[in-house]
Amino acid sequence: MKTELLRISDPTDPRLVKVGQTLRNGGLAAIPTETVYGLAANALDEKAVEKIYEAKGRPSDNPLIVHIAHFDEWKPLVKEIPESAERLAKAYWPGPLTIILPKSTLVPMKTSGGLDTVAVRMPGHPIARAIIEKAGVPLAAPSANTSGKPSPTTASHVLHDLDGKIEYIVDGGECTVGVESTVITLVGDRPRLLRPGGVTPEMLESVLGKIEIDPAVFNKLQEGTVAASPGMKYKHYSPTAEVIIIKGDFEKYKSYVEERADENTAALCFDGDAEKLCGISILTYGEETDSASQANRIFEALREADEKGYQTVYARYPLADGMGLAVFNRLVRAAAFHIVEL
């Protein structure tokens, strides 16, 4: 299959009509969102959804997020919308927040990975919403990368992973948030955060009161436990290079990495650290005190590690609260939970 790359900055661009039609008719297109690029298909069409799993090499029990453009498209997808869900959506949609509720029969089991719940999000990116509108159906859209690899934050990342496997890549520029959406489930007694993202725990609690944070956000799932969010049990966000997170102050980090420097090794550190480190290759992921800039850069930096062919990457430990929780959650998985405390 030939993949057509369309550079589109205007949500009224007429070329979005053919992208929408292709999706409605069962094809695949990568679309820009404010979080990461999504690999979209008609969420209500089992055959189309199957193609997503195939193109990504994604395990079929890992459910997809369904994307909508308007509030009234939510109701048909779920059993009912509790008042708490409505308040949450009003506060943060359109935006980087996914809400899980019991699903209606309209949503195929293929889309929900065999679960009786469905994850729904209204993306903030105007081009994403325009594409959903043109398709006229809700769109299932996981990240547009090969399963397990760092998520794509530019169209060229998507091209690298999916060229020849999908009909279109819509290039809408760089993703502003840079990590996937916050996922919260409202199924069960208490709201529970399954994946941290651009909407922070504090932002959720300001609407819902106290929420639980699923242990899988911080820790590796133990063998044999059932994952609340099946995606959490898979190896994730990993470059080919081995990533090791170094916890400790900058001076300790500096001597640790400088001792281990060679041509196959890089320091994954913050903007401005380059001048302070000697004899080691540098990758950076944002400013030390700005979690949003780290989220924006983390996946690109991990991809750069592979492009440059490093075998080992020593990452500086990020701030791990607020938006930083999302950064830590991705980095610790890229590192397969390997943290060295100095």
Question: Binding partner of residue 334 among ligand AMP, Mg ion, none, CB under 5 to 8 Å per kind?
Answer: none
DSSP label of 317 = P
- Report if residue 170 touches ligand AMP, rule: CB under 6 A: no
- Report if residue 153 touches Mg ion, rule: CB under 5 A: no
Using CB under 6 A, which of 33, 182, 229, 294 touches ligand AMP? Answer: 229
List of residues 6+ apart from 64 with CB closer than 8 A: 43, 49, 52, 111, 112, 113, 119, 140, 141, 142
- Report if residue 100 touches ligand AMP, rule: CB under 6 A: yes
Nearer to ligand AMP, 143 or 154 (CB): 143
- Report if residue 63 touches ligand AMP, rule: CB under 6 A: yes
Question: Which is nearest to 151 in space by CA: 299, 319, 331?
Answer: 299
Token code pair at residue 184: 């919260």
**C-alpha span between 110 and 284 (Å, rounded):** 39
Q: Tell me the backbone φ, ψ of residue 14, rounded to 5 degrees.
A: -60, -20
Q: Reduced to 3 states, what is the DSSP secondary structure of residue 199?
A: coil
Question: Which is nearest to 33 in space by CA: 227, 177, 135, 137?
Answer: 177
- Report if residue 231 touches ligand AMP, rule: CB under 6 A: yes
Say if CB 286 and CB 271 are below 8 A apart: yes
Question: Binding partner of residue 230 among Mg ion, ligand AMP, none, CB under 5 to 8 Å per kind?
Answer: ligand AMP
List of residues 6+ apart from 1 with CB closer than 8 A: 164, 165, 166, 167
Sort residue 64 into left (φ over 0), alpha (ψ -120 to 50) or beta. Answer: beta
- Report if residue 115 touches ligand AMP, rule: CB under 6 A: yes
Question: Binding partner of residue 152 among Mg ion, ligand AMP, none, CB under 5 to 8 Å per kind?
Answer: none
Token code pair at residue 311: 């075998």
Question: Binding partner of residue 26 among Mg ion, ligand AMP, none, CB under 5 to 8 Å per kind?
Answer: none
Question: Applying CB under 6 A, what is the total number of residues that bind ligand AMP?
Answer: 20
Question: Binding partner of residue 115 among Mg ion, ligand AMP, none, CB under 5 to 8 Å per kind?
Answer: ligand AMP
- Report if residue 143 touches Mg ion, rule: CB under 5 A: yes
**C-alpha span between 218 and 212 (Å, rounded):** 13
Nearer to ligand AMP, 73 or 273 (CB): 73
Nearer to ligand AMP, 273 or 300 (CB): 300
Give the binding range for Mg ion (CB under 5 A) out of 26-34, 85-93, 138-146, 222-230: 138-146
Question: Binding partner of residue 63 among ligand AMP, Mg ion, none, CB under 5 to 8 Å per kind?
Answer: ligand AMP
Nearer to Mg ion, 240 or 289 (CB): 240
Please report how the helices 15-24 and 126-135 are oriented relative to each other, as an axis angle in degrees rounded to 10: 60
Taking CA atoms, 156 is separated from 129, 140, 315, in Å, by 21, 21, 24
Question: Applying CB under 5 A, what is the total number of residues that bind Mg ion?
Answer: 1
- Report if residue 118 touches ligand AMP, rule: CB under 6 A: yes
Query: What number of CA atoms fall less than 13 Å from residue 321's CA on the CB side?
Result: 1
Nearer to ligand AMP, 188 or 272 (CB): 188
Using CB under 6 A, which of 65, 179, 266, 268 touches ligand AMP? Answer: 65
- Report if residue 111 touches Mg ion, rule: CB under 5 A: no
Nearer to ligand AMP, 45 or 214 (CB): 214
Interface contacts to ligand AMP, rule CB under 6 A: 62-65, 100, 112, 115, 117-119, 142-143, 180, 183, 194-195, 229-232
Interface contacts to Mg ion, rule CB under 5 A: 143
